[in-house]
Amino acid sequence: MKIVSLSIEEFDSFAKKHKLRSFYQSSSYGNIMKKYGFKPLYIGIKNHQGELIGASLILSKDLFSKYKYAYAPRGFLIDYTNPDLLIKFTDELKKKFFKEGYIYIKIDPMIHCSERKSDGTVLTYNPEIDNILSILKKAGYIHHGFTNYFENVKPRYHAVTRLTKNNTKLFDQFSKRVRNKIRKAEYHGVEVYKGTKEDLSSFYELTKKHKKPLSYYQSLINEFNDQVEFYFAKINTEKYVFNIKTKYEQELDINEYLNQIIQNKHTKNTRILNKKMESDRIVNNLKLELVEATKLLTEYPNGLVIASICTLKYDKSIYLLKEGFQKKYGKFNPLYLIKWHIIKESNKEGLHTFNQNIITGNFSKENKYHGLNQAKLEFNATAIEYIGEFDYIINPTIYHIYNLKSIRKKINKKAE
């Protein structure tokens, strides 16, 4: 077996067929990261018959002096249950990379550990995990552990909804809370539409908390083309006023009916009196909301865009990359309606899963990120747990020095 450099065409051809394939292991992703200080390398390993039996996009980055760091996003495309193959691949990679000044390699394979319910109950567990961990350890990889939050480069837990039923059945299997939020969004006149690449700046403005610059999303569009989609939620202010006014008038009729019963019969029936009091409260709230809706219609007669989501389609799945909304319009529940729209369209298109991306591995209500988990898992999603992150140290001495420098930098930053 020997390590070889691959052309982009050779790598992509192999990567698209591998069982651990992902859009992170693609030349398109390599081209994107090239613009952010990384150099993409396409490495393969061939057996004695010259057949390609493993490959990886490796992102190379300069650290200091002549030294570099390597990262295989979502891991090598290799059989991790084959110890001879993994050890040989790693040894050959170490020889090559040591000469080229690399300190260490980081990997985070898309190997499933488990699938869990929204409360953390294990549905399935990968029986190969212990064996794979043992092989990786034997090969010299250091596991960062079964982290539960945002410690790694990429999340260890994802929320995934399987699109295996018709849309009516899918909707019925969402939590009651999610179904109510979707209905409330529609009642408040919220509508969903698909944007185009010309709407990129609007998406970026609505999703302000970015770690990535606007140019990153432009690169996504350039590399993945129509696989990247933007969805927007817009308040149809005319519809909003109509719905609230209709509901207000209906409640006024109910209120008047209850009032007549009380006056005509001079009733002291507690149930009727309570109903009247509740109706008074609803009428008052609807009146205030009608004022608010009318004001919005006056200010935004053509509607108001309040939320957006960016997705990427890859290999029969659709991935949520980024979402955001205007917090002052949170009661309109726009993201819930967008996700429901994405699920309906993806199911109709024949896609298999909707991956809502990052959640935490702490499923308790005490978790401060419980709301994040709840907002995603209640779309009849399960939590997919990946194996986690590993480092392979190529140059122990320089790696130790680099870690000391990193620690000192963190200490100094905290002291500022």
> In sequence order, which ranges of 266-416 are alpha helices (DSSP H)?
270-299, 334-349, 370-377, 396-415
What is the separation, in whole angstroms, between the first and last Cα of the chain?
51
In the block, residue with structure tokens 């699109």? 163
Which residue segment(s) compose the domain that 81 sits in?
A: 2-108+389-415
Does an H or E element contain 309, and which? Answer: strand 304-314
Print the SS3 string covering 96-152. HHHHCCEEEEEECCCCEEEEECCCCCEEEECCCHHHHHHHHHHHCEEECCCCCCCCC
In angstroms, the CA 15 to CA 56 distance is 8
Q: How many other CB atoms sit within 10 Å of the CB of residue 46?
A: 16
Q: Classify 303 as helix, strand or coil.
A: coil
Q: Which residues are 102's β-sheet partners?
A: 68
In angstroms, the CA 89 to CA 1 distance is 8
In angstroms, the CA 340 to CA 402 distance is 46
Contact 237, 303 (CB under 8 A): yes
In angstroms, the CA 404 to CA 416 distance is 19
Does an H or E element contain 27, and which? Answer: helix 27-34
Tell me the per-residue pLDDT of 355-364, one tens digit each, with 9 for 90 and over. Answer: 999 999 999 9
Average pLDDT, the chain: 94
pLDDT at 20: 97
Same domain flag for 209 and 309 = yes
Instruction: Average the pLDDT over 29-37 and give the result.
Output: 95
Same domain flag for 99 and 196 = no
In angstroms, the CA 332 to CA 190 distance is 7
pLDDT higher than 50, residue 412: no
Same domain flag for 313 and 277 = no
Provide the 8-state DSSP code for 7: -
Q: How confident is the model at residue 416 (pLDDT cuts 50, 70, 90)?
A: very low
Q: How confident is the model at residue 411 (pLDDT cuts 50, 70, 90)?
A: very low
Cβ-Cβ contacts under 8 Å for 151 (sequence gap 6 or more):
144
In the block, residue with structure tokens 């090559």? 96
Same domain flag for 216 and 342 = yes
Same domain flag for 77 and 8 = yes
pLDDT at 413: 41
- 197-223 as b/e: b if 16+ CB within 10 A: bebbeebbebbeeeeeeeebbbbbbeb
Instruction: Average the pLDDT over 5-33 and give the result.
Output: 97
Tokens of 270: 């507690």
Provide the 8-state DSSP code for 363: -
Same domain flag for 227 and 334 = yes
Q: Classify 237 as helix, strand or coil.
A: helix
Domain assignment of residue 370, yes or no: no
pLDDT at 267: 65
Q: How confident is the model at residue 409 (pLDDT cuts 50, 70, 90)?
A: low
Strand order in the sheet with 390-393: 2-5, 39-46, 52-64, 67-72, 102-107, 390-393, 141-143
pLDDT higher than 90, residue 406: no
pLDDT at 69: 94
Q: 141-143 and 122-125 as β-strands: parallel, antiparallel, unpaired?
A: unpaired
Q: What distances in angstroms separate CA 42 from CA 48, 60, 72, 155, 339, one per listed residue?
A: 20, 11, 10, 24, 35
> Left (φ > 0), alpha (ψ -120 to 50) or beta: where does 80 sit?
alpha
Provide the 8-state DSSP code for 316: T
Domain assignment of residue 199, yes or no: yes
Domain assignment of residue 124, yes or no: no
Domain assignment of residue 143, yes or no: no
Domain assignment of residue 46, yes or no: yes
Q: How confident is the model at residue 389 (pLDDT cuts 50, 70, 90)?
A: very high
Same domain flag for 213 and 68 = no
pLDDT at 193: 97
Contact 357, 207 (CB under 8 A): no
Same domain flag for 194 and 244 = no
Tokens of 50: 């010259």
**Domains of the chain: total:** 3
Tokens of 334: 């726009």
Same domain flag for 223 and 252 = no
Phi first, then psi: give them for residue 18, nearest 5 degrees. -75, 145
Tell me the per-residue pLDDT of 128-165, one tens digit each, with 9 for 90 and over. Answer: 999 999 999 999 999 999 999 999 999 999 999 999 88
Same domain flag for 221 and 92 = no
Tell me the per-residue pLDDT of 294-347, one tens digit each, with 9 for 90 and over. Answer: 999 999 999 999 999 999 999 999 999 999 999 999 999 999 999 999 999 999
The CATH number assigned to the domain holding 177 equals: 3.40.630.30
Instruction: Average the pLDDT over 38-52 and give the result.
Output: 95
pLDDT higher than 70, residue 8: yes
Same domain flag for 282 and 312 = no
pLDDT higher than 70, residue 415: no
Q: Classify 301 as helix, strand or coil.
A: coil
Same domain flag for 231 and 243 = no
* pLDDT > 70 in the chain, percent: 96
Contact 181, 374 (CB under 8 A): no
In angstroms, the CA 36 to CA 217 distance is 12
Phi first, then psi: give them for residue 10, nearest 5 degrees. -65, -45
